């Protein structure tokens, strides 16, 4: 999966012949799973039509401060909203004229207004003739823009519109995509980290038909895995039976059924990981003897002798070296005190406390309300959020552990 998947991208197009390449560029962004909005300078529409780009991006194309057909209604394109919407902004082609405006803060069209309002990373791909590309003012503008924090996507060598051959061709769309992916990946905060995550319930067999289980859907663990992968981590996701799916090349899913299978799978990888997050709802007990045939209904009462399962989280804590260890606690009473005891008993660095007393939290829901408690017993209650947002909060704790 591309690191561009899900990213909101503003593509600014200025008036150069290389603008014709932006149709392919938009198509590649969409293919990578990105959301694209296009802003064109008036001059760029001489080289490619807004209709082409709106069709490919599946969004209206913006080029003026107001929609001309709605001029009497005063409808305008809010440059601040556009700028705040984006995860990143790319100006391609960036002509000599547009580069000069960017470097000097000249705001005479919608694209420049959005650029000056942008809070996100800005990339620019120059396109101009050889002598223009080598001119001292152009070089000075490159320097100024990079000092502002913008990122240059270098032009390529090749045949130019003038008939000359040399440096100044806008990078090919495929190369722009590759540049952005490599640059974004290099800046991901968890790149190079390996994270083990458990998710879902475990099923403990009574006989070939029946089992002891719980209502865990696995969604919380899967959301944590996806959030970790999106931050660059390599993820091993050990999951009990669940309908949850995840598709990301950085996530290896290991399906298991029982607590013993989860224990074994986890300990194949635990020694090599940087972080372990135990989000699974593992059965505390299992039948001591499993019937080989279906147990027939023969008596009014039926007793199953149970024995303890191996405590996966406690074994993580006992064998911890440099791992950052996060556990979960689902409580119904004395929540804080029970969670603190669990931190001490299992040698955790952080616990994520859920209370079934909180509306919107617990099994089978799309939301969760958690409280963070660290090993120093610092308590941080969080608001009710989607499980995706909770996953991001948990991974922010991981990032803080490594970088703060």
pLDDT tens profile 195-211: 999 999 999 999 999 99
Over pLDDT 70: what percentage of the chain? 95
3-state secondary structure of 249: coil
Q: How far apart are CA 392 and CA 266, in angstroms?
A: 23
Q: Catalytic: 214?
A: yes
C-alpha to C-alpha distances, 99 to 12, 102, 236, 376, nearest whole angstrom: 12, 5, 45, 52
Domains 8-186 and 194-403 alike in fold: yes
- Which of 37, 176, 6 is CA-nearest to residue 94? 176
The pLDDT value recorded for residue 49 is 96
CATH, domain 194-403, list 3.40.50.10300, 3.30.420.40, 3.50.50.60, 3.40.50.1860:
3.40.50.10300
Name which residue leads in pLDDT, 334 or 140.
140
- Count of residues making up the chain: 404
Give the range among 14-18, 326-330, 352-356 with minimum mean pLDDT. 352-356
Is residue 70 pLDDT above 60, yes or no?
A: no
- Confidence bin at 69 (pLDDT 50/70/90): low
The pLDDT value recorded for residue 131 is 87
Q: Sign (positive/negative) of CA torsion 222, 226, 229, 233?
A: negative
Over pLDDT 90: what percentage of the chain? 79
C-alpha to C-alpha distances, 59 to 8, 26, 55, nearest whole angstrom: 12, 11, 7
Tokens of 125: 């791909």
Cβ count near 97 (within 10 Å): 16
Give the range among 239-243, 295-299, 303-307 with minimum mean pLDDT. 295-299
Each domain of the chain, given as residue ranges in start order, spans 8-186, 194-403
Q: How far apart are CA 66 and CA 289, in angstroms?
A: 75
Mean pLDDT, residues 261-290 taken together: 96
- Which of 150, 170, 147 is CA-nearest to residue 158? 170
Is residue 396 pLDDT above 60, yes or no?
A: yes
Can you tell me which residue has the tokens 């309908």? 243
Q: What is the mean pLDDT of the chain?
A: 92
The pLDDT value recorded for residue 142 is 96
Mean pLDDT, residues 247-252 taken together: 90
Q: Where are the beta strands (DSSP E) in 181-246?
A: 194-199, 204-205, 211-212, 234-239
Q: Are 240 and 260 in contact (CB under 8 A)?
A: no
Tokens of 134: 């080598």
The pLDDT value recorded for residue 10 is 98
* Annotated catalytic residue, options 78, 175, 214, 248: 214
User: What are the tens digits of pLDDT across the range 340-387?
Assistant: 999 999 999 999 998 666 666 666 677 888 999 999 999 999 999 999
- Which of 58, 82, 90, 103 is CA-nearest to residue 184? 90
C-alpha to C-alpha distances, 319 to 185, 198, 283, nearest whole angstrom: 32, 17, 21
Q: How far apart are CA 278 and CA 293, in angstroms?
A: 33
CATH, domain 8-186, list 3.30.160.250, 3.30.70.120, 3.40.50.2300, 3.40.50.1950:
3.40.50.1950
The pLDDT value recorded for residue 73 is 58
Cβ burial 348-362 (10 Å sphere, 16+ → b, else e): bbbbbbbbeebeebb
User: What are the tens digits of pLDDT across the range 114-163?
Assistant: 999 999 999 999 999 888 999 999 999 999 999 999 999 999 988 777 77
C-alpha to C-alpha distances, 268 to 121, 224, 226, 317, 323, nearest whole angstrom: 40, 21, 21, 15, 15
Q: How far apart are CA 241 and CA 222, in angstroms?
A: 12
Q: How far apart are CA 220 and CA 388, in angstroms?
A: 8
Is residue 24 pLDDT above 60, yes or no?
A: yes
Is residue 248 pLDDT above 90, yes or no?
A: no
User: What are the tens digits of pLDDT across the range 37-60?
Assistant: 999 999 999 999 999 999 999 999
Q: How far apart are CA 234 and CA 230, in angstroms?
A: 10
């Amino acid at each position: 999966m591309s690191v561009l998947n899900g990213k909101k991208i503003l593509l600014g197009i200025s008036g150069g012949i290389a603008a014709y390449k932006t149709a392919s560029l938009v198509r590649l962004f969409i293919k990578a799973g990105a959301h694209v909005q296009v802003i064109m300078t008036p001059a760029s529409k001489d080289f490619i039509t807004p209709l082409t780009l709106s069709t490919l991006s599946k969004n209206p194309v913006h080029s003026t401060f107001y929609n001309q057909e709605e001029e009497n209604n005063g409808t305008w394109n809010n440059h601040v909203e556009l700028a705040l919407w984006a995860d990143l902004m790319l100006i391609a082609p960036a002509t000599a004229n547009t580069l000069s405006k960017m470097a000097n803060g000249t705001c005479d069209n919608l694209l420049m207004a959005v650029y000056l309002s942008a809070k996100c990373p800005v990339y620019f791909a120059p396109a101009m003739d050889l002598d223009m590309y080598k001119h001292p003012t152009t070089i000075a503008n490159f320097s100024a823009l990079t000092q502002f924090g913008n990122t240059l996507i270098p032009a390529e060598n090749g045949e130019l519109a003038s008939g000359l051959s040399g440096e100044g061709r806008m990078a090919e769309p495929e190369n722009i995509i590759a540049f952005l992916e490599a640059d974004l990946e290099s800046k991901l905060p968890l790149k190079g980290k390996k994270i083990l995550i458990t998710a879902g319930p475990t099923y403990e067999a009574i006989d070939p038909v029946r089992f002891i289980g719980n209502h865990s859907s696995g969604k919380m663990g899967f959301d944590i895995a996806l959030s970790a992968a999106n931050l660059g981590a390599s993820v091993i996701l050990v999951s009990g039976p669940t309908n949850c799916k995840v598709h990301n090349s950085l996530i290896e899913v290991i399906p298991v059924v029982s607590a013993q299978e989860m224990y074994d799978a986890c300990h194949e990888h635990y020694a090599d990981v940087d972080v372990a997050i135990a989000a699974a709802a593992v059965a505390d007990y299992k039948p001591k003897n499993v019937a080989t045939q279906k147990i027939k209904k023969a008596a009014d009462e039926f007793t199953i002798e149970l024995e303890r399962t191996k405590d996966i989280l406690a074994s993580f804590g006992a064998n911890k070296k440099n791992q950052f260890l996060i556990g979960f606690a689902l409580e119904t009473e004395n929540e804080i005190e029970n969670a603190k005891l669990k931190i001490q008993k299992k040698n955790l660095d952080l616990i994520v406390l859920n209370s079934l007393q909180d509306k919107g939290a617990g099994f089978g829901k799309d939301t969760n309300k958690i409280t963070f408690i660290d090993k120093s017993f610092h308590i941080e209650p969080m608001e009710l959020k989607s499980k995706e947002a909770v996953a991001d909060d948990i991974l922010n704790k991981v990032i803080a552990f490594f970088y703060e």
